[in-house]
Structure 1
Amino acid sequence: MQFSRSIVLLLLVFFSQTVKAQNVTLKGILIDQQTKQPLEYASMALLKKVDSIVVGGVLTRPNGSFELSKLQVGQYILKVAYTGYKNRFIDVKISDTRMVNLGTVSLTPTSGSLSQVNITSGKVNASNKIDKQSYRADQFESAKGGTAVDVLKNLPSVSVNGEGQISVRGSTGFLVLVNGKPVLADAQTVLSQLPANSLENIELITSPSAKYDPDGKSGIINIITKKGANDGFTLTANVQAGLPSSTDYDNKEKPKRFGGDVTLNFKKDKWDISVGGNYLRNDNAGYREGDVFTKNFTNNTITRFPSNGERSFDKYNYAGRLSAIYSLGKNNSFSVGFFRGKRHQARLADLVYTNSTSDLSTGLPISSTTYYNSNLQTKEGTFTLGNLDYTHTFTDKSSLTASLLYENANLYGNTRNRNLGYPNTSDTIQYVFNPYKNPINGYRFKLDYAINVGKGKLESGYQFRYDTQDGQFDYFVIPATSQQDSNRFRGSARAKNQIHSLYSQYSGKLDKLEYIAGLRYEYATRTLELSYDHAPHELDLSNLFPSLNLLYSVNNGLKLKAGYSKRIQRTNNFELNPIPEREHSETLEQGDPDLKPSFIDLVELGLTRTFKKGSFFLTLYYQNIKNPIQRVNSVYADTILNRVFTNAEKARSFGLELGANLQPVKWWSLYLGGNVYNYKVSGDLSVLGSNSVVDNANWVFSVNANSNFKLNKAWSVQGNVNYLSKRPTAQGEDSKFLVPNTSIKKTFMDGRLSATLQWQNIDLGMEQSNRQGITTFGRDFYTTTNYIYETDVFMLNFSFNLNKLIGKSKLPTSEFGDKEF
C-alpha cells in the first residue's frame, strides 16, 4: 500500500510539473524605438533555438502587448517582424516558471539597403524606399467594400477618370504586379476582381531596377494582398449593401449594389494555406450629353448631330482563389496558386439624336431628322490562372527560384446598335450587331539567382514570355446595305508574342550611399495575322534597358535619391486589331496592326524628410517618350467618326510629385498627395492613311487628400477627395474630374467587427462631382461629350476579423487586363 501511495505521489508530482511546464506564458509590449508609440498587429514568432522550428506565433494588440502561452521549458528565439522596421531576434530561456515578462521591446525603422521613412500611429501608413513608395491599403475607408481600383485612386500621382482609366504621373501606361508577379497589359479587369478588403499594401515603384519587367511608361504598381500571420485559422469577412439611389437620371432600371468577400487562412508547421472568394454587384446610373459636327468639303456641307440620354452600367464580378506554401526544411519551399473569376459589364446608352445638314458656305438648312439610338455594349470574361514557384537556398545563403505562370482568359461580348424612329421607337431604321470572341492563352517561365558578393547582392535571371490571342469578329446589318468595305468589319485576328529576357543587377551600400545598378536585355517578336490580309504583320525588337538608383542619407531624418530607368510601353491586341467595332451610333473603333511600341527614358530626383509628427517627400521627374501611342478621331461618314490608335513622333513630360503623412494630434491624421506636370505631344500623325500634325501641350495637376478623425476608441470619421484638372490630348482636352467622399466607422468586439457608412461622390445638387467632359477636334470635325455619373451614393459595409490578417498571399495574377476587356 505504501509503495502504491509512493507511485501515485510521484505521478502526481510529475503530472503537476508537466502541466506547469506546458503552461508557461511569454509576454511583453512592443513599441517604436523612436516615437515610443505602441505597434499593433506586429508579427511575433517563437522558434526553437536548436532547429528553428516555429512553436507559436501571435500578433500584438492595439496597445502593443502580446502573449504566447502553453509553452514548454527550453531555449527559444523570438522573431519580431513589422512592415517598415528591422526584424529583431531575441533569445528567450523558459525555465520552471509560469510567466516570462520581456517588458518593453522596441523596433527600429529600417535603414538598410531598402531605406525608408515611416509614419507610426499604431500602424505604418506610408514609407519611402530607394526605388518605391509603400502605402497601407486599409487607411482609405472610402474604398472598403470596393475593389483594388478604389484604393489605387487615393495614392499620390495616381488618378482615375470618369471612364475608370487609371494613370500614374499622367500616363496610362504602367506595369501592375500582384505580390510581385506581373500583369502584362492594363490590369483594371483583374484589379476590379480583387476586393479592397484583401489588400495589405500598395507599392509605387517609380524607378524600377533591371530585375523588373521594363513594361510601363511611368513605372510599376505592386499590389500586396493579405494572408494569415498566426498559427491555426484566421478569418476575415466583409458584406456590403447600397442604400436606394438619391439621384434620378430617368434610367430604365434602378442600380443594384451589394457584395461580399471572405478569406480563410490556415497556418501550421510547414503549411500556409489561404482560400477566398468574393462577389460584387456595382451598377451605376448616369446620363450623357453630346455635340458633334462634321464637314464634307466635297459636298460643301456641315452635318450636326447633338444627342442626350441615358448612359448607365450594369456590372458584377465574382472570383475564387487559393494559395498554398509548403516549406520542405529550411532550404526548400514550394508555393502554388489558383484563381478563377468572372467579370460582366453591360453599358446601355439610349440617346436621342437631332441631325441637321446645312450648306457649309451659307449656313442654309438642307435637311434634318430626329431618331432614337439604343446602344448596348456587353463585355464579359472568364479568367483561369495558375502558378507554381520553387525556391532553394544553398548553404552559402545564395538562392535559386523557378516560377511558372499560366493563364487562360476567355473574352467575349457584343455591341447591339439600334437606330429607331422617334418618337415612335417601334420603327427600326437600322440594326447593327457586332459579336466577338477573343480567347487568350499566356505562359511565363522565370529563373532567378541571388548571391551575396562582397558587401552587396548580385541578382541575375532569365525569363521567357509567350502569349497567343485568337480573335473572331462578326458584323451584321439589318436591313442589309451595299457597304463597300463591309468585309473589313468581320474576320479573324490572330496575335502571337514572344519575349526572351536576361538581366543582372548589383545592390549594396557605401557608408551613407545605397545603390542598385543593373542592365536588362530583351529580344521580342510580335506577329499578327489577319483573315483578309495574306501577309502577316511582324515586328522584331532587340533592346537594352539600363537602370540606376541612388539613395544618400544626409542624417536620420533627411534622405536624397536619384534614379534612371529605360522603359517600354508595349502594344496590346486591342490597340493592334484593325477590325472596326461600331461602339455606338457615332463611333467606329479600330486599331493599327503596325503600331509601334513606345520607348521611354525616366529620370527622377527626390528627397524624403521625417520629423516627430510625420513625413514629407518631394520628387522631380522627367519622361522622354519616343513613338507615344495616341487615340485619335477622323471622319468615316457624315454622322460617323473613326476612333483609331496611332503613333505620334514624340512626347515629353516633366513634373513635381509630393506627399505628406501628418499626425498633428493623436486623434487626427492627415494624408496629402499631389502631382503637377507639363505634358507635350508633337510630330506627325498618320490616321488611316491621312497625315496630320499634332503639337499640344499644357499643365495638369491632381490632388488626393485623406483626413481621419478618431472621435473615441470605437468611433471615427474620415473624409477624402480626388481631384484631376483639365488635361491635353492629341486632338483636344479632357475636363476636370472631382470625387469627394466621406465615411463614419464604428467598431465592436475590440475591433474585430466594424460597421462603416460611406457617402460616395458627394455633390448635393451642385453638379460638380463625378462628371467627365471629353473634347476632340480636327480640320473637318468637332466633338464634345459630357458624361454625368451617379452622385450622392450611400453604402453600408460590415467587416469581421477573427485574428487579424497581415502579410503577403501569393495568388496567381493575370497577364492580360482591361485593354482586352
Structure 2
Amino acid sequence: MNKILTLLLILLSTQLFPQRNQNSISGGLVTGTVFDFESKHTIEYANIVLLSPMDSSLINGTITDANGIFSLSGIQPGKYIVEVRFIGYKYESFDIVVTAGKKNMDLGEIYIKPNALELKDVVVQGERSPISYQIDKKVIDVDKIQTVMSGNAADVLQNVPSVTVDIEGNVSLRGSVNFTVLIDGRPSIMSSQDALQQIPASSIQNIEIITNPSAKYDPEGTAGIINIILKKNESLGLSGVINANVGLYEKYGGDFLFQYRTSSLIYMLGMDYNKRIFPGNSISENTYISQNSTSYLNSNGESEWGRIGFGIRGGIEFNFTESDFINLAVRYGTREGNQNSILNYDNWSSNSIDTLSYINMTDRIRDGEYAGSNLTYIHKFGGSNHEIKGEFNYRYNDGDESTLTESLDNGFILDGKKTTEFGPSNELEAKIDYTLPFSDVRKFEAGYEAEFENSDENNALYLYDSLAT
C-alpha cells in the first residue's frame, strides 16, 4: 500500500511541474479591439507594437484581424508601451505593467482618429500644345517652345508633323523642298531655305503650315506654304524688345524690335544679325563589286559650313477708320554662306596592289542682298473675318554663288572644276482678295492677281586643263 501511494505522489508531482513551466514560458497576454473614431467601424491590419520604455526599441508586434481584434502573447513581466498604428491615423499609446500576478490585460475598445492635415491651396495648371489645328492649317506657337529661342525658323520646325529638317538646317515639307515661304502672309524676298534659316525664332509669333493651299496663296504646284507671323506689340506709346544669343563654334546673334503706337498710327523698326558656324568630320567607306574584281573608295577629313545673315525692317500702319487700315512695310538684308571640306581619299582594287591616294578640296561661297516693300489695304465688313484686301508687292534679289572643287596629289592638281551663278531678279505683284466666312468650317474666297518678273541669271562652268599649266 505504501509503494502504491508513493508511486501516485511521484506521478502527481510529474504532472504539476510541467504545467508550471509552461505558464512561465507563455508569459502575459494583451488583447483589444481597434475602431475608427468617426465611423465606429473596426479596422483591419492595424499595427500593434510592443515597445521598451527605456529606448523605444521594438520587442513584439502583431496586426488586427478582420474584426479589428488583436492579441499579443508571450510578454514577460515588466513595464511596456503598447502603440496602435495605422496609415492615415494618429497613434494611440498605452503604458502597461505585466506582473506574475497580473499577466493578462484587455485594453478594451481602442478608437483611433484620422490624421487630417491642413494643406495650402493646390493650383493645377495646364498648357496647350504648341501646335494647334485650324480649318486649313497647322499653327505653331513659337513662344511655347523655349528650347529654340536662340535658333531660327528652321529650328522651330524640327518637331512639327509633315516637316523634316536635316543636319544642315535644310527644310522639307511633306518630303519636298519645293514649298513657298510667306512672311506675315506676303511672299518672302529671300528663297524659302534662306528665309527659314535667317529669321530669328525670338522675333516670330506663330508659324502656319498650310499643306493644302487654295488659289489665294498662288501655290504654283508647291508642296505647301509656310507662313511666318512676326511679333508685334499692342501697347500704346514706345515699346521694344531686345534678344541676344551665343553658343559654341562662333555661334552668336541678336535682334531688336521697337515700336511706337498711337490710337491710329503705328511706327515699327527692327534689325537682326546671326552668325552660325558648324564644324564637323566626314568618314566614308565604299565598296564596288563587279564580276571580275572588287574596288574600294574610302575617305575621311574635316568639313565646315555656316551662314551669316543681317536684316533690317521698318513699317508704318495707319487706321483711318475702325474698318479700314493701310500698311507700308520695307525690308533690306544681306546673307553670306560658305561650305568647305578637305577629304583624304584612298582608292584601290582587288586586281592591283597599288593604291591611289589624293586630297579633294571643296569651297562653296554664296552671298548676296535682298530688298522688298509691301503696301496693303484692308477693309473689314461687319462679320468676323469678312474682308476685302488689296496688296502691292515689290521684291529684289541679287546673289552670287561659286563652287570650287580640286583633287590634289602631293600639291599637284589632278582634276578640278568651278561653277558660278550670279545675277539679279526683280518681281512686281498686285493682288486683291475677298473673304466671306459662312461658319467656323466654311468660307468663300475670291480674288485676282497679276505678277511681273524679270530675272537676269548668268551661269558658268570652268574645267581644269592640265595641258595649260
Mapped to 1, the partners of 2:358 and 2:289 lie a distance apart of 21
CA spacing shift, 1:188–1:364, aligned 2, 3 Å: same
Out of 232, 240, 255, the residue aligned to residue 235 of structure 1 is: 240
Structure 2 counterparts to residues 268-283 of structure 1, below 5 A: 268-283=262-277
- Aligned residue number for residue 284 of structure 1: 278
Q: Unaligned 5+ residue runs, structure 2?
A: 1-124
The letter for the 2-side match of 1:204 is I
Q: How many residues align?
A: 343
- Where do residues 163-178 of structure 1 align in structure 2 (5 Å cutoff)? 163-178=168-183
Residue 192 of structure 1 aligns to a residue whose secondary structure is helix
Bigger share in helix:
2
Does structure 2 retain, via aligned residues, the 8 Å contact 1:442–1:466? yes
Q: Deviations over 1:110-167 (max 9, x none)?
A: xxxxxxxxxx847774432222222210222221121111111122332211232322
- Listed one character per residue, the Cα deviations across residues 71-111 of structure 1 (whole Å, up to 9, x for unaligned) are xxxxxxxxxxxxxxxxxxxxxxxxxxxxxxxxxxxxxxxxx
How big is the shift at 1:460? Answer: 1.2
Deviations 1:630-663 (A, max 9, x none): xxxxxxxxxxxxxxxxxxxxxxxxxxxxxxxxxx
* 2:189–2:397 CA contact under 8 A, matched in 1: no
1:377 is the counterpart of 2:353: no
For 2:405, give the aligned amino acid.
N
Cα distance, 1:392–1:311 mapped onto 2, change above 3 Å = same
- Summarize deviations over 1:544-602 as a string: whole Å, max 9, x none: xxxxxxxxxxxxxxxxxxxxxxxxxxxxxxxxxxxxxxxxxxxxxxxxxxxxxxxxxxx
Shift of 1:199: 0.7
Amino acid in the other structure paired with 1:442 = E
- Separation in 1, partners of 2:425, 2:402: 17
How big is each residue's C-alpha offset from its partner over 1:756-778, in whole Å with a ceiling of 9 and x where there is no partner?
xxxxxxxxxxxxxxxxxxxxxxx
Contact (CA 8 Å) 1:173, 1:186: kept in 2 or not?
no
* SS of aligned partner of 1:365: coil
- Alignment match, 2:311: 319
| Distance across 1 between alignment mates of 2:438 and 2:245 | 51
For residue 314 of structure 1, report the CA deviation from its aligned partner.
Answer: 3.2
Q: Is the 8 A contact 2:422 2:459 kept in 1?
A: yes
* Letter aligned with residue 452 of structure 2: Y
Q: Does the Cα contact within 8 Å between 2:155 and 2:169 map onto a contact in 1?
A: no
1:353 maps to 2:353: no
Q: How does 1:729-808 map to 2 (within 5 A)?
A: none
Pairwise CA distance, 1:330: 3.1
Contact in 2 for aligned 1:228/1:266 (Cα 8 Å): no
Q: Distance in 2 between matches of 1:379 and 1:143?
A: 26
1:442 alignment partner in structure 2 = 427
- Structure 1 segments unaligned to the other structure (5+ residues): 1-119, 244-254, 483-821
Q: In structure 2, how many angstroms separate the alpha carbons of the residues matched to 1:321 and 1:479?
A: 47
Counterpart pick for 1:161 among 151, 157, 166? 166
Given the superposition, is the C-alpha separation of residues 469 and 292 from structure 1 closer, same or farther in structure 2, using an over 3 Å criterion? farther
For residues 365 and 124 of structure 1, the distance between their equivalents in structure 2, rounded to whole angstroms, comes to 61
**1:259 Cα deviation (Å)?**
1.0
The correspondence for 2:455, drawn from 458, 465, 469, is 469
1:446 shift after superposition = 0.7
Contact 1:175 1:216 in 2 (8 A): no
Of the three residues 397, 402, 409, the one matched with 2:397 is 409
1:129 aligns with 2:134: yes
Q: CA deviation at 1:369?
A: 1.5
Distance 1:121 1:232 in 2: 33
Change (3 A) 1:366 1:315: same
CA displacement 1:177-233 (0-9 Å, x = unmatched):
221223599611012221100111122223434433234654332211111111111
The 1-side partners of 2:422 and 2:219 are apart by 30
Distance 1:193 1:163, change over 3 A: closer
Q: Name the CA distance, whole Å, in 2 between partners of 1:148 and 1:420.
A: 39
Query: Where in structure 2 are the equivalents of 1:211-226 lying within 5 Å?
Result: 211-215=216-220, 218-226=223-231
Structure 1 pair 260–183 and aligned structure 2 pair: CA distance change class (3 A): closer
Q: Aligned to 2:456, what secondary structure does the other structure show?
A: strand
CA distance in 1, matches of 2:345, 2:427: 43
Separation in 2, partners of 1:412, 1:273: 34
Match in the other structure for 1:748 = none
Q: CA deviation at 1:349?
A: 0.8
Q: What's the offset of the Cα at 1:409? A: 1.0
Q: Does 1:150 align with 2:155?
A: yes
Shift of 1:288: 1.1
**Structure with higher RCO (Cα < 8 A, 6+ apart):** 1
In structure 2, what residue type is equivalent to 1:168?
L
- Who is 2:328 aligned against? 336
Q: Whole-Å Cα distance in 2 between the matches of residues 185 and 174 of structure 1? A: 13
Please give the alpha-carbon distance, in whole angstroms, between the structure 1 residues aligned to 2:439 and 2:139.
29
Deviations 1:504-549 (A, max 9, x none): xxxxxxxxxxxxxxxxxxxxxxxxxxxxxxxxxxxxxxxxxxxxxx
Q: 1:204 to 1:452 in 2, by over 3 A?
A: closer
Q: CA deviation at 1:337?
A: 1.2
Say if 1:354 and 1:219 are closer, same or farther in 2 by CA, change over 3 A. same
**Equivalent position of 1:682 in the other structure:** none
Structure 1 residue 344: Cα displacement: 1.1
**C-alpha deviations, 1:391-439, integer Å up to 9, x for none?**
2457999743221111111111211222222xx4x33334433232132
Change (3 A) 1:200 1:121: farther
- CA deviation after TM superposition for structure 1 residue 169, in Å: 3.8
AA partner of residue 174 (structure 1): F
The answer as to 2:375 corresponding to 1:388 is yes
Contact 1:137 1:201 in 2 (8 A): yes
In structure 2, how many angstroms separate the alpha carbons of the residues matched to 1:237 and 1:123? 26
1:263-308 deviation per Cα after TM superposition (whole angstroms, max 9, x unaligned)? 11111122112211111111011011223466899xx887543211
Distance 1:461 1:189, change over 3 A: same
The alpha-carbon distance between structure 1 residues 365 and 377, as it changes in their structure 2 partners (threshold 3 A), is: same
CA distance in 1, matches of 2:168, 2:150: 20
Does the CA-based 8 Å contact 1:442-1:467 persist in structure 2? yes
Contact 2:189 2:372 in 1 (8 A): no
**Residue 228 of structure 1 aligns to a residue in which SS?**
coil
TM-score between both structures, scaled by the size of structure 2: 0.65
- Distance in 2 (alpha carbons) for counterparts of 1:412 and 1:450: 40
CA distance in 1, matches of 2:438, 2:132: 28
Residues 351 and 219 of structure 1, relative CA distance in 2, 3 Å threshold:
same
2:144 to 139, 143, 146: 139
Identity %: 29
Higher Cα radius of gyration: 2
RMSD of equivalent CA atoms: 3.2
Deviations 1:29-80 (A, max 9, x none): xxxxxxxxxxxxxxxxxxxxxxxxxxxxxxxxxxxxxxxxxxxxxxxxxxxx
Instruction: Call closer, same or farther: CA 1:144–1:481 in 2, change over 3 Å.
Output: farther
Letter in 1 for 2:396: N
Q: Is the 8 A contact 2:190 2:370 kept in 1?
A: no
**Correspondences of 1:538-557 after superposition (within 5 Å):** none
Deviations 1:328-374 (A, max 9, x none): 22343211111111111111110011123x4xxxx412753211111
Aligned to 1:793: none
- How far 1:447 moved relative to its partner? 1.2
Q: CA deviation at 1:481?
A: 5.5
Give, in whole Å, the separation in 1 of the partners of 2:238 and 2:190. 35
TM-score by length of 1: 0.39
C-alpha contact 2:130 2:145 (8 A) present in aligned 1: no
- State whether residues 411 and 440 of structure 1, in contact with CA within 8 Å, keep that contact through their aligned partners in structure 2: no
Q: Matched residue of 2:457: which SS?
A: strand
